[in-house]
Amino acid sequence: MLDLLIIGGGPIGIATALEAKNKNLSYQVIEKGPLVNSLYNYPTNMQFFSSSEKLEIDNIPFISNKAKPTKAEALEYYRRIATANKLHINLFEKVEAVNAEENTYRITTTKSTYQAKNVVVATGFYDLPNMMDVPGESLPKVFHYYKDPHYFSGQKTIVVGASNSSVDAALEVYRKGGDVTMIVRGSAIGERVKYWVKPDIENRIKEGSIKAHFNTTITEIHPNEVVIKHQDGSLETLENDFVLALTGYRPNFEFLKKLGIAISDDDKRLPQYNPQTMETNQKGIYLAGVICGGLETYKWFIENSRIHAKMIVANINRQ
Ligand SMILES: Cc1cc2nc3c(=O)[nH]c(=O)nc-3n(C[C@H](O)[C@H](O)[C@H](O)COP(=O)(O)OP(=O)(O)OC[C@H]3O[C@@H](n4cnc5c(N)ncnc54)[C@H](O)[C@@H]3O)c2cc1C
């Protein structure tokens, strides 16, 4: 019988495992992909907006070449924490169900079953992209995750959205010879775009090297073109090779519901938990990391959610 089973081997799942180990609790992390699966799937050349010490777990130094680390450095850091501390993490194993039994939980995965007194849900939100729900979205030319710019060199590439991910991709693809057009639902580049990147994208748009249509949405995607709709309702057809639909991601609400976790019925869809302990309405089931923000996926990140690990373990130890 485990003291706690942690679902998700992201930075916050790892932080919780380390804290459990340090406090002599028995624990197991179950991760459905490779270690820090979300980070592994981030764009190859991404740079974190946080400086490295803000991404540290348990004050273990995170040394990076520049103040803000790269993806490769972050993978190295979290991997070293997991291996050096011999954390119990099962990879490529997915949690499918959590069932309450007398004072414990039975956790069923794709490979085994476990018994635990407590369950920590640290599943993040990077698995499910927000779909545009337009015809042609399932064509192989449409990507909801962006890796690197080389593929799009010399190609008419539409980037949907104006958040950090879209802006980074648009600039990178443009600089590697892609013919970039941004399709933006709002009237401007997003307010939360990194302050050192915003002038770059705005100036590229102003000079015309990156084209942008604001107050515009995609209505149809075809193999060689895309139909867009302007604010006045008029339609325009653009020649197009690829679409990077970087329209954000959402937590797996179905999974939370299956666990009996209450979710607010407003448009934020916030999972309910006690902010002092991180325990949900289900006794012994906790939330950790970015999953806590519901559809407000910008609200929690590594920097401000790594603290959840200590809060949860302290509460379990008080029981
Ligand atoms: C491009 C980009 C840049 C970012 N830069 C920063 C930054 O500079 N600073 C910062 O603080 N944050 C940053 N973030 C956000 C940060 O990466 C996330 O906040 C962080 O990954 C959250 O950690 P987490 O452990 O809560 O969730 P995740 O890292 O998403 O981990 C969740 C894990 O759960 C696993 N999982 C899901 N469902 C199951 C299941 N049923 N069974 C088993 N495993 C499951 C997933 O595979 C995943 O590995 C950035 C995000 C992006 C996209």
**C-beta of residue 132 within 8 angstroms of C-beta of residue 160:** yes
Query: With pLDDT > 70 as the criterion, what percentage of the chain qualifies?
Result: 100
Distance from C-alpha of 122 to C-alpha of 100, rounded to nearest angstrom: 18
Buried b (16+ CB within 10 A) or exposed e, 196-234: ebbeebbebbeeeebbbbbebbbeebeeeebbbbeeeee
Q: Is 38 in the pocket of ligand 1 (CB under 6 A)?
A: yes
* Best residue among 31, 96, 108, 123 to mutate for probing ligand 1, ranked by most atoms within 8 Å of CB: 123
Q: What pLDDT digit, counting tens, does each position of 117-139 carry?
A: 999 999 999 999 999 999 999 99
Span from the CA of 58 to the centroid of ligand 1 (angstroms): 18
Q: Which atom of ligand 1 is nearest to the CA of 303?
A: 11
309 lines ligand 1 (CB under 6 A): no
Provide the b/e sequence for 246-266 (b: ≥16 CB within 10 Å): bbbbbbebebbeebebebeee
Q: Which residues of 164-183 are buried (b: 16+ CB within 10 A; e: fewer)?
A: bbbbbbbbbbbeeebbbbbb
pTM of the model: 0.95
Residues linked to residue 27 through DSSP beta bridges, in sequence order: 4
Of ligand 1's listed atoms, the one at least distance from the Cα of 290 is 26
Minimum CA distance residue for ligand 1 atom 4: 48
pLDDT for 87: 98
95 close to ligand 1 (CB < 6 Angstrom)? yes
Task: Please give the biggest Cα pair distance in the chain.
Answer: 66
Q: Measured in angstroms, how far is the CA atom of residue 265 from the centroid of ligand 1?
A: 24
CA-CA distance, 133 to 175, in Å (whole number)? Answer: 30
Distance 171 CA to ligand 1 centre (A): 23
Beta strand extents in the chain (DSSP E only): 2-7, 27-30, 89-90, 95-101, 104-109, 113-121, 128-129, 142-143, 156-160, 179-183, 211-213, 217-221, 225-229, 235-239, 242-245, 249-250, 285-287
Mean residue pLDDT of the chain comes to: 97
Q: How far is the CA of 41 from the centre of ligand 1 (A)?
A: 10
Residue nearest to atom 3 of ligand 1 (CA): 48
Ranges under pLDDT 50 in the chain = none
Three-state secondary structure string covering 86-140: CCCEECCCCEEEEEEECCEEEEEECCCEEEEEEEEECCCCCCEECCCCCCCCCCC
Torsions phi, psi for 158 (to 5 deg): -95, 130
- Full DSSP string of 25-59: --EEEE-SSSTTHHHHTS-TT-B-SS-GGGG-STT
Can you give the pLDDT at residue 319?
82
Give residue 300 CA to ligand 1 midpoint distance, Å. 10
In tens, the pLDDT along 225-240 reads: 999 999 999 999 999 9
Of ligand 1's listed atoms, the one at least distance from the Cα of 40 is 49
Ligand 1 atom 53: the closest Cα is on which residue? Answer: 42
| Phi-psi category of residue 60: left, alpha or beta, with phi > 0 → left and psi -120 to 50 → alpha | beta
3-state secondary structure of 217: strand
Q: CA 17, CA 19: separation in Å to the nearest integer? A: 5
For residue 107 and ligand 1, the question of a CB distance below 6 A is answered with no
204 sits in which H/E element: helix 198-207
Q: CA-CA distance, 97 to 99, in Å (whole number)?
A: 6
Atom of ligand 1 nearest to the CA of 291: 26
